[in-house]
Amino acid sequence: MKGLLTAVYALTLIVGFTGCAAFRQSVSDKDPSNSPPMDAKYDASDLLGWADEIVRSILEHPFPKPDAPAPIMAELGIQNRTNDHLDTQALADTIVTKLLNSGKMQFTNTSRRDQLLKEQGFQLANCTPETRAQIGKQLGAKYMLTGSLIEIDKRSGRQVRVSKQEDVYYQLTVEITDLETGLIALRKQHDRMRRVSKPLIGW
């Protein structure tokens, strides 16, 4: 009897320690480009994957011409036309970074214009003529890069089933427009549909 009680006590301790371990915090680094999606919504893998796809398709397009100098462009944002609060500026920043790193395009720093002008004004008033930035020497952009992101969300209807399904479709459009003529020089789109099934009972 005493041996049985000892065994039960030991088993209780093992289960208790195992249960506590299951509730401990776990932290680990993951590769964002290879992380599996947690749901059907926009996530880090979309940001990186869409940027790669859009940049690849832009660079494969005959724009600019191979013998032409790298065009100067102004990035003016990607419009969020979804129902969610998404940081589409991060997507635009990633696209611009990859295009810049390709060496085939140049970009004016549109997001820092106010700071740039403030620094130029400070240098004009306080720095020596030999070292201060010259006013009126900024290069004007020939093209602007803009875009939009739309979302279509479809959920399964009410019926007898053990799980519910949700389809989320995104379409990213990125275009390059000639600032002088207003003509669209290039437009690329990327589509993504993801389905998620959720059990009606569970946690």
* CA atoms of 149 and 77, how far apart (whole Å): 11
pTM (two decimals): 0.79
Q: Answer whether residue 17 shows pLDDT above 60.
A: no
According to the model, what pLDDT value does residue 197 have?
80
* CA atoms of 130 and 30, how far apart (whole Å): 49
* CA atoms of 39 and 29, how far apart (whole Å): 20
Overall average pLDDT of the 74-83 stretch: 97
Q: How far apart are the first and last CA of the chain?
A: 40
Q: Answer whether residue 136 shows pLDDT above 60.
A: yes
Overall average pLDDT of the 155-167 stretch: 67
- Under the banding of pLDDT at 50, 70 and 90, the label for residue 12 is low
Q: Answer whether residue 181 shows pLDDT above 60.
A: yes
Cis peptide leading into residue 32 (ω within 30°): no
For the chain, what is the mean pLDDT? 86
- Yes or no: domain 40-199 corresponds to CATH 3.40.50.10610: yes
Q: Which of 190, 196, 194, 166 has the alpha carbon at shortest distance from 48?
A: 190
Give tens-digit pLDDT for 80-111. 999 999 999 999 999 999 999 999 999 999 99
Q: Which of 138, 145, 143, 147 has the alpha carbon at shortest distance from 113?
A: 138
